[in-house]
Structure 1
């Protein structure tokens, strides 16, 4: 019988999945009145952190399909939170650029999230958080290598 589901690494993966789902649900609840989803918020965050980007660039950075990001970008454009601009580096792949409304929206989302993060952080030490972040980074690095053909 395979005991891989009983290892500490498997337990960590189960906890990550659960935490991701909880974060998504909480994010959706916190911003439902703003007319965006957690996934749309994630695209705005990428644009805020990295500047204008193409749909394929965002998809690669988030390890999701181009089609998924295309749907989200189209929704953001439709709602006036982003726009498409010509890309001087590539004729066919336009840049997704936040609008002033998108920047204001992301600032409001960030403000709401900061309050929740402050409350969550009260029960964890800085050392615990640093150790967890380091472990997760190593796990992400390993996952990326697993996805790369030998």
Structure 2
């Protein structure tokens, strides 16, 4: 039975720490260009959930986010006031209100994504040579393997 050297054991830990630090920095840079800075993390979570899963009641949003309905109402209300989310009667149960994204919110999401994509594309083009871009492509394949279930 062979023992792993301390270098073999510490390299994965070092790589993990560096990946996390780099992703955090990149995420912060992308946020600068995406227009979400004025929203709280809970508000962003609601918007992304509604975008991915469609209309939902405040109660169901609260349940999936692990919050009380009253707390979720406090998250949703400023989104409604900003014109990003709108409520409409649930066709299946008129006592319930379904929250959904407004066209304004959908445009805002698309503009933010486009701005982030444009910034990242320009940054890659400006800072990385063609050879470095190929290396990045290879590194992304490795990262994809790490992220697979």
Decide: shared fold, TM above 0.5.
Answer: yes
Query: Counterparts of 2:83 and 2:77 in 1: how far apart (Å)?
Result: 10
- Would you say the 8 A contact 1:84–1:97 is kept in 2? yes
Aligned residue number for residue 54 of structure 2: 51
The more displaced of 72-81 and 121-130 is 121-130
State the superposition RMSD in angstroms.
4.0
Paired residue for 1:8, among 7, 12, 24?
A: 12
Gaps spanning 5+ residues in structure 2: where? 1-5, 126-132
Name which structure has the greater RCO, CA cutoff 8 Å, separation 6+: 2
Residue 76 of structure 2 corresponds to residue 65 of structure 1? no
What is the total number of aligned residue pairs between the two structures? 129
Q: Which runs of 5+ in 1 are unaligned?
A: 139-150
Distance 1:47 1:57 in 2: 9
CA contact (8 A) 1:81 1:102 kept: yes
User: Is 2:149 the partner of 1:133?
Assistant: no
SS in structure 2 of the partner of residue 66 of structure 1: coil
Whichever of the two has the greater Rg, that structure is 2
Q: Is the 8 A contact 1:31 1:37 kept in 2?
A: no
